[in-house]
Structure 1
Amino acid sequence: MAGHVIICPKIEAWDQYKKEDKVLAFFTAPWSGQAHKIAPIVRDLAREYPDVHVVQLDWRQYESAAKELNVNSAPTLLFMKRGVVKEKVETTMRPYLLYDKMDKNFVLKNY
């Protein structure tokens, strides 16, 4: 698997990634200070969870995907399995909690 953040090059690539077993979609925007602030944490998540496809999408470039997934702000993180959103985080006041959400959505079997 990856082990790094995948900058999605085009919508066709996103259409393939979103079908994967474990996907963390990171919707960002250049004007979002909060998105820039958590980007290093998202990179760390990609390294620590190499079996999860961590895909970064520019909200402006992927506006149709954002609308389809009900993404209304940046940053938004979607924890997805085979194209289905399991959890959505629209703001990251406590970015360290993202590790718990990764475990909950992709590692632990009891959830």
Structure 2
Amino acid sequence: MAGKVIICSNQSDWDIHTRSGKAMAFFTAPWSGQAHKLSPTVRDLAMEYPSIKVLQLDMRHFESLARTREVVAPPAFLFIQNGNQIKKLDTAKPEQLYDMMEQLQMAT
């Protein structure tokens, strides 16, 4: 699904999309105005970096994963390579997300 935001609906989706390759996970929630503001940027990132899976997770359905990954509130972003979290941003400006995607793309 290169070029599109992948909506994870369960733990199995998460496992499949993060076990290999590169991914950015976007934790969101309906009540998070900041997450809504960043949604267009996340869609743009998916289009501009098709080699990186861009995942969207609703915190209401991923409470356990959020706790495990120390995600306290949306928006939060995890950058993952081959199942390993390499960076977490608790919130971000669009330019920070672009910088991290560039770094992830260049990582070997």
How far 1:2 moved relative to its partner?
A: 1.5
Pairwise CA RMSD: 1.3
The amino acid of 1:56's aligned partner reads Q
1:101 maps to 100
When normalised by structure 2's length, the TM-score is 0.93
Are 1:60 and 2:65 matched, yes or no? no
Q: 1 CA distance for matches of 2:83 and 2:67?
A: 15
> Percent identity between the aligned chains?
48
Are 1:40 and 2:33 matched, yes or no? no
Q: 2 CA distance for matches of 1:83 and 1:45?
A: 20
1:81 maps to 81
* Structure 1 stretches lacking a partner, 5+ long: none
Say how many residue pairs are matched: 108
CA deviation string 1:15-58 (max 9, x = no partner): 11121210100000111000000000000000000011100000
Structure 1's consecutive aligned runs of 4 or more residues displaced over 3 angstroms after TM superposition are none
2:78 aligned counterpart, secondary structure: strand
* Structure 2 stretches lacking a partner, 5+ long: none
When normalised by structure 1's length, the TM-score is 0.90
How far 1:108 moved relative to its partner?
A: 5.3
